[in-house]
Structures are given as C-alpha cells and as structure tokens.
C-alpha cells in the first residue's frame, strides 16, 4: 500500500478537534494531508462528486474552533451547500451549481468547526439507481446506497465523519456493507431541511463514522443533546434479539453475526432475550411502501412532470407506479405507522433495545444493485434511532453489521450500548460470523 | 372607481377553469385582462414582488387544461419557483434569482393548469417584519402577515386564488384582516417542501380565495382528496362556540362577530353550543413558542450564523433569544403538543367543529405591526384544518373573520360548513358585528 494513511483512522474525533483548536498549524497540516489522501485514493474509489478548494479549506482549518474544529467531513450530495455544487445525484436535471444556502445541518457542521471537504456520491435523488462508487472494504461488491460515497469515504479512511440520509435503509445498509458505523438518530433530531426531499415522513439525516464515539460526538455537536456519554453505565440493560422477521429472514451469515453480537453483549454483562416482532411490525413494513411512494410522487412532482425522460428508468418507473397510490391509501398507511409507533413502544416492555441484522447479508457482488433495505424500513418509518456496529464478516469475508435499535428519543442509550458492543467485538476477533472466510 | 374589474370576482374558479379549458382564446384573453388589472392596481397595493412575463403566461393560458385551467394564482415568495425570483422576503440575503426547482405545491398548481402570475409579498422569512403591502379592504390598516401579498391580491380581486403559509397565524389572520377566505388544511395535506423553512413542525401551506368553494376546489386539485363536495349535507352538525380563550380574550367586535356567525349557523339548522377549552389548550399555546423558536434557530442557522447583520432587528433579536431554548425544553414542548392533539380530539366529543375569532379584532391601524397570531397558534400546532370566513365587519368598518376549526383530516366538513356560513352571512347583511360602523 503506497497511499499515505491519514491519521483519521487513529485519533478519535473529539481529541483531534481539541488538538486542532489548540494548534491552528496542526489543523492546517491535518487538512492538507486529508486532501492529499483523498486525491490519491479517489480515482479508484469514486466516493466524491466534487471537492472543496484546498486553500479555502486550509484557511478555514487554521481558524477552526468548536467541538468539530478542523474535522474533515464529507457531505452527501442530497444536502444543499452554498459553496459546492449540489446535484442530488441527478446531473442530468441539476447542473453543477451550488445551492442558495447551506442546509441547516451543514450550517451546524460548519458552526461546530467542521470542514466540508467535498460532496459525496448519492444515488439519483437518494433512490436506487447505483453510483460508480466502489466498496473499499469488499472488492467487487456494492458499497450499498443511497449514501454510497459517504460510507465509502469513511471506510477508506479519507474522512472520519460523513453526512448521509436514510428513507429506507440508505445509512445503515451502506455502513454495514462498508464496515463502518452508521447512525440514524431519532426522527428530526437532526434537521432535514435542505436535504432534497424524497419522502417528508421518512427522510432522516444519518451519520457515518469509524467509531461509535465519533458518531455520538458529532451528533451531540450538531443537535445540542447529550449523546457522547454512556448515561447507562452501571445500569442493567436488556436487549431483545429479534428472531422472526416479517419481511423475510436474513442469510445465515447475518444471523450468525447477530448471535455473535448477542454473545459479545452478554460478555459485557448485558442481558439478551429472544423476541418476536408483533403483527403490527409487518403491517408497518408494508405501510412504508405506500408512505414513500405517495410522498415521492408529490415531492418529485416538478422533476417527474417536466423531465420524466431525464430520470433513470428505475426512478421513472417507480414514480409512474407510485402515482396510483391514492390519498386514502396513504392515510391508511400513516395510520398504521402511528399505531405501530404506539404498539411497538408498549410491546418492547422491559427491553431497552433490539438487536437485528443491519442488512440481510454482506454486500451483494457486483454493482447493478445497492442491495435491499428490508431490515431498515420499519425503523425509519417509526423514527427510532439505529446504530449499525461493524466488526463482523460474512461468508465471503465482506463486512456485515449488526443493528441496535431503541425507542424514539433513547439515542444516548443506543449509542452507549453500541459503543460497548464495538469494543467487545474488537476484543474478540474470534467471534466473527463467517462460517468460511473466502474474501 | 376607474380601475378595470377582472371577472375573478364573479365567476367561480371551477366554472372559469372549465370555460378556459373549452376555449383557449378565452383563457388567453382572461389572462391578459388579469395582468392589466394587476398592473393598474399594483402601484397602490404593493401585493407582488415580481410578475411573470405576460407573453409567456398568455402562451400557457392558451394551452391550459386541468381543474385550474388558466386560473391566475399568486404565490407567496417563500415558495421556490423555477421561473420567478425567490427571495423569501429577504432581498438583503437572497438576490433576485429563481430557485432551482418549483416547490412541489407550485408544481402541482401548474400541473392542474394554473398560471403563476407572480410572487406575492411575504414578511422576511415569513416572520413579523412588515411588508409594504396595503390592505385593499381597510385603508390605513395592516393587511396582516406574513402572507400579506396573497391576502391583499385576492382581496383586491386581482387573482381568485393565492398560495400562502402559516406557522403562527400567517394565513387566517391576513384573510380576516383583508376580508377574504383563508384556508389552512390539515398538516401536510399540501406538501411544504420548497417552502423556506421557519419551523418544520409548524409551517403549513395555506390558501386564499374569495369564496370557500374556490379554496376547496383548489385544495382538491392540489391534493387529490375529495374536498369540493359538502359531504355532510343532510347530516346533523354540532359546532362548539369557544367561550374563554386561555391566550386572552378577543375585542368585543370579534366576540360579536362570533355570535353573529353562530346565529347564522343556527339559521342553517346547525346546532351550536358554548364550550370552554380544557387546560391543555393553554399549555399547548405556550408550547408553540418553544417549538417555533427552537426550530427557527435551527432552520435559519445559515442566515443567522453568517449574516446576522442583514436580518431585520425583529428577526435577529427573536433568533438571539430563541437560541437559549434547550433541546430538553423543545422535547417537552413537543410532548405537550402530542398530548394536546390526543386530548383535544377526545374533548371535542360530539362537536364536529369549533367556532372562534380568526383574530382578536379587525386589522390594527398603521403598518408597524402585522397584528397578533394568538387565535391561530394552537390550531397550527395541532395541525387541524381552519377556514376563516369573511362577511362581517368590526367597530371601524374593517373586515373581521370568524374561524371554523375541525379535527385533523376533517377538511371536507370544515369547508362544507364554512360554505354554508358564508352563504348565510351573505344573505343576512344585517348580522354585521359592528356596533358602530365608522370605516
């Protein structure tokens, strides 16, 4: 390996930002090294659609202050940015022009001292049409979608943090496939305006990081909520391990990954118990389709009405089909979603969290698909926080994540347990899920 | 009166659109007459910030089809438009450039055949800093805000329909002050993406019209929901007339307007009964302030962080103050809002609707303020549909509206009863609220 390795792999974001704030010269040098690494790796990776001007970034780095001082961040190109072209993954419809304002979450990143080093690839309007991004953790396999570039950039060690989004499984799934941490906060804890709308009920801002602590630190800086401390240290925690999945069962490797994670949690003194989702979970999973479809047709009405031919066939045909979802069907789906939020909250009972696969398997081979979002849609619809924890591998040696899910608003707990799980998996490399590691 | 009167005062939108779709030449001539009228009246009114190109509109008119074929619509300048400058009431921060896409609700207007004749004035980011718009129905008095231009343009008969928004009382209040119909649909029934975000929980698309039937027809065309028919014809309806208001009592003229409206409803065979709001209504009213403030600081972070000096003192100081609202206080406010939605729905019991003042009084004299939104905030927070019905006048002869409010999702009923009330008030001009008409 001849490429320089940036130190984003080693230092945690909190310590790095503190060092930058204390030493502007160090912040500047760090930034220049990050940009050199990106330049070197980008041709093979294809994680970015554009990069910020190095000299402008270096100047920002030298005066950076705040909890993310001088931290290089990649921003998925579905978020509006004032200084960088914003194309929503649709260069046919959106020329390489910046937006008129920073999305609020991007403004919050900058206010916390972060440096937006570039826009990362997204599938077209964050739907399914694949990007050209490669998975740095699994040669020949999709990095997932729609936040492909953000997952890949973090996985390759180019940036320690990246912004993504999730409407079905666009944060947790690529995090799982690329072997990084993915965190989808409680719905609306991070503002989503200035994120190109696909579904206003489902679109959620997501974060990618190499460590759970980094994701928590970033989310704390952006949201003003206490997320960085494990508030539950010392408290008895119970995790429900989901058995049957109404949307179909995962591959054996994903199931073994969950078993390995459950064992690791028990090793930390956390109680695990098998649970089966109640019937409303399946109904809510189905409702996700109607909510997303109805809202996508509405949200993309301008593009669909005026430029149908410039959409990918994948998206165009999806919208054509979704246009038949009636307002009544949409209302029914929203009622199911509301009922599911209430019923699942009660059903969870004494359990603090759920443990499930992040995706049905390791990343599929090839680049024709970004993989299925089946294991993510329910939680996105509920608006419950999810963290995908890496550290395990599938039958072909590609990364496979496990997902911790909590009730709405319990992000600090989900992140805290995810941190313990991450540590336990790092200390127990024998607990990989692979039956036979070929990759 | 030497100004030409467009026929938007006479024909209802549905019939006008049908005539346009059948006769392109008539649609074209109508459009040209509308634009001549706007040109003639605009200097005194100040309702528009920009107008569309007449020849381009005429060409659109000549091929218009759909439920709003050839209907001239004004669009509040907080909505993104592709062909017209979009400044959000902040020319200091946003130059006269079009947005990169039509807001979905604007795209839906165009798809229904409507012609966007211009952008109407809005207070800065739809907050409180007044516009230069004049109230065509009450000389020397504010048209209200924030949707000042849309209310005034409809009141002056320039357009039969206009798009507005409401975060506190920005649709119902100016409708009341200008003597037109204001309709705020159930939250999210009309898509609000591409509307400059002030508060993502509260911002709601609103409509202005000269007749309830026109507002219902337009909302039906935009939303695909059945709203144009009075589904309750023949069914017994009960309207609760709100007595005590936890946010303060209205002026005597507004109370008399409500009494006159209640009498008119009884004249239609609708049962009315006095009701007093439960304590949660007051708590929810207070919660509105924390929800709006916390979200406004987040949504306007870019503007507030990078261009504080270019905000009006009104808005700048509001954001400075709101920045101290913690995430915890915000969460508590959101919990109160959720509880209020449940409790008020149950409390309403056998009542189908509520009748309350649209505003505490007729429009205040002068142009320093856009008037208080106290009588609107609770319903906006709940996301319940409201219609302001005109036809009554205050002590100084200025218009005064009464507001019908229904449970979420009961828009067809609210609009149906509003239509009956509108008719009853038109037939009973003796039932004006004024004690002494001086204006």
Share of chain A above pLDDT 70, in %: 95
CA distance B91 to B86: 9
**Token reading at A291:** 């909510």
Asked whether residue A5 carries a pLDDT value surpassing 60, the answer given is no
Per-residue pLDDT averaged across A2-24, rounded? 75
Question: Contact B302/A409, CB-based, under 8 Å?
Answer: no
Q: Do A331 and B301 touch (CB under 8 A)?
A: no
Buried b (16+ CB within 10 A) or exposed e, B175-206: bbbbbbbbbbbbbbbbbbbbbbbbbbbbbbbb
- In the predicted structure, residue A96 carries a pLDDT above the cut 70: yes
Summarised one tens digit per residue, pLDDT across range A360-408 is 999 999 999 999 999 999 999 999 999 999 999 999 999 999 999 999 9
- What residues of chain B lie within 8 A of the CB of A107, using their CB? 301-302, 305-306
- What's the mean pLDDT when you consider all of chain A? 94
Residues of B in contact with A298 (CB under 8 A): 104, 108, 191
A293: contact with B, CB 8 A cutoff: no
pLDDT of residue A353: 98
The four Cα atoms B153, B155, B159, B160 give a dihedral, to 10 degrees, of 150
Distance from CA of A80 to the nearest CA of B (A): 11
Residue-wise pLDDT tens digits, B356-412: 999 999 999 999 999 999 999 999 999 999 999 999 999 999 999 999 999 999 999
Range in A263-267, A395-399, B230-234, B346-350 with the lowest mean pLDDT: B230-234
User: Where residue A86 falls among pLDDT bands split at 50, 70, 90?
Assistant: very high
Nearest CA to CA, how far is B21 from chain A (Å)?
19
Min Cα–Cα distance to chain A from B108, Å: 7
Active site residues of B: 76, 146, 170
What pLDDT does B43 receive?
97
Structure letter (DSSP) for residue A385:
-
Closest residue, chain A, to B99 (C-alpha): A100
Minimal Cα–Cα distance from A253 to chain B, Å? 40
- Does residue B233 have a pLDDT over 90? no
Give A146's DSSP letter: S
- Inter-chain touch B108–A301, beta carbons under 8 Å: yes
**Mean local confidence (pLDDT), A415-436:** 76
Contacts with B300 from chain A: Cβ below 8 Å: 104
CB contact under 8 A, B200 and A223: no
Size of interface A-B (CB pairs under 8 A): 80
Which residues are within 8 A (CB) of A248 and not within 5 positions of it... i.e. 6 or more apart?
A360, A374
Name which of A301, A327, A339 to mutate to probe chain B: the one with the most chain B Cβ atoms within 10 A of its Cβ: A301
Pairwise CB contact (< 8 Å): B302 & A99:
no
Query: Residue A229: pLDDT band by 50, 70, 90 thresholds?
Result: confident
- Tell me, what's the pLDDT at B8? 47
Question: Which pLDDT band, with edges at 50, 70 and 90, does B234 fall under?
Answer: confident
Task: Quickly list DSSP for B392-426.
Answer: EE-TTS-EEEEEEEE-TT-HHHHHHHHHHHHHHHH
> What is the predicted pLDDT for the residue at A7?
44
Least confident residue range of A64-73, B232-241, B280-289: B232-241
pLDDT digits (tens, 9 = 90+) for B92-104: 999 999 999 999 9
b/e A56-68 (16+ beta carbons within 10 angstroms → b): ebbebbbebebbb
- Asked if residue B5 has pLDDT above 60, the reply is no
Query: B259: buried, middle or exposed (CB in 10 Å: 19+, 13-18, 0-12)?
Result: middle
- B110·A305 Cβ contact <8 A: yes
Q: Which of B107, B192, B197 sits opposite A301 (nearest CB)?
A: B107
What is the predicted pLDDT for the residue at B429?
A: 57
For residues B238 and B231, the model is more confident at: B238
Q: Do B101 and A193 touch (CB under 8 A)?
A: no
Cβ pair A104:B327 closer than 8 A: no
- Within an 8 Å CB–CB cutoff, is residue B409 touching chain A? yes
Q: Which of A100, A111, A200 sits opposite B301 (nearest CB)?
A: A111
B5 touching chain A per CB within 8 A:
no
CA–centroid distance for A269 within its chain: 28
pLDDT, residue A431, reads 44
Closest by CA to A401, choosing from A387, A415, A417, is A387
pLDDT score recorded for residue B231: 72
Distance spanning both ends of chain A, measured CA to CA:
18
Those residues whose C-beta lies under 8 Å from the C-beta of residue A272, and which sit 6 or more positions away, are A238, A239, A240, A241, A262, A265, A266, A355
Q: Tell me the domains of chain B and their CATH numbers.
A: 11-223 (3.90.1300.10)
**Which band of pLDDT confidence, cut at 50, 70 and 90, is reported for residue A429?**
low
Q: How far apart are CA B416 and CA B268, in angstroms?
A: 12
Q: Render pLDDT for A322-352 as a digit per residue (tens, 0 to 9).
A: 999 999 999 999 999 999 999 999 999 999 9
Active site residue A146: yes
Give the mean pLDDT of chain B: 94
* B433: pLDDT strictly greater than 60: no
Q: How far is CA B182 from the centre of its chain?
A: 4
The residue of B99, B101, B342, B411 whose CB has the most chain A CBs within 10 angstroms, and thus the best one to mutate to test that interface, is B101
């Amino acid at each position: 390996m001849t490429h320089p390795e940036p130190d984003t792999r080693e230092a945690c974001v909190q310590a790095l930002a503190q060092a930058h704030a204390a030493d502007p010269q160090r912040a500047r040098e760090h930034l220049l090294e990050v940009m050199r690494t990106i330049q070197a790796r980008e041709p093979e990776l294809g994680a970015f659609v554009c990069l910020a001007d190095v000299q402008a970034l270096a100047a920002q780095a030298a005066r950076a202050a705040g909890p993310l001082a001088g931290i290089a961040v990649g921003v998925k190109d579905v978020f509006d940015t004032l200084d960088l072209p914003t194309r929503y993954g649709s260069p046919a419809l959106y020329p390489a022009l910046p937006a008129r304002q920073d999305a609020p979450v991007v403004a919050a990143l900058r206010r916390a001292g972060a440096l937006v080093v570039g826009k990362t690839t997204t599938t077209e309007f964050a739907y399914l049409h694949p990007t050209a991004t490669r998975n740095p953790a699994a040669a020949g396999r999709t990095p997932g979608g729609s936040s492909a570039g953000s997952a890949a950039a973090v996985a390759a060690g180019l940036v320690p943090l990246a912004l993504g989004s999730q409407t079905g499984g666009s944060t947790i799934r690529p995090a799982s496939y690329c072997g990084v941490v993915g965190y989808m906060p409680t719905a609306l804890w991070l503002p989503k305006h200035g994120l190109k709308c696909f579904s206003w009920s489902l679109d959620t801002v997501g974060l990618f990081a190499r460590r759970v602590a980094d994701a928590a630190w970033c989310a704390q800086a952006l949201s003003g909520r206490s997320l960085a401390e494990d508030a539950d240290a010392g408290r008895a925690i119970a995790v429900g391990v989901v058995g049957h999945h109404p949307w179909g069962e995962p591959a054996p490797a994903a199931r073994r990954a969950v078993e390995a994670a459950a064992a690791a949690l028990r090793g930390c003194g956390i109680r695990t118990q098998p649970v089966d989702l109640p019937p409303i979970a399946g109904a809510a999973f189905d409702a996700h389709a109607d909510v997303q479809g109805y809202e996508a047709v509405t949200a993309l009405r301008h593009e669909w009405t005026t430029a149908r031919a410039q959409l990918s066939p994948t998206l165009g045909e999806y919208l054509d089909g979704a246009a038949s979802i009636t307002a009544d069907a949409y209302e029914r789906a929203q009622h199911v979603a509301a009922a599911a939020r209430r019923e699942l909250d009660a059903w969870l009972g004494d359990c603090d969290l759920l443990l499930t696969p992040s995706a049905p398997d390791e990343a599929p081979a090839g680049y024709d698909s970004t993989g299925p979002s089946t294991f993510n849609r329910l939680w996105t619809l509920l608006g419950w926080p999810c963290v995908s924890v890496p550290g395990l591998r599938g039958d072909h040696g590609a990364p496979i994540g496990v997902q911790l899910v909590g009730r709405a608003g319990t992000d600090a707990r989900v992140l805290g347990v995810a941190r313990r799980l991450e540590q336990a998996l790092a200390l127990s490399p024998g607990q990989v899920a692979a039956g036979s590691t070929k990759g």
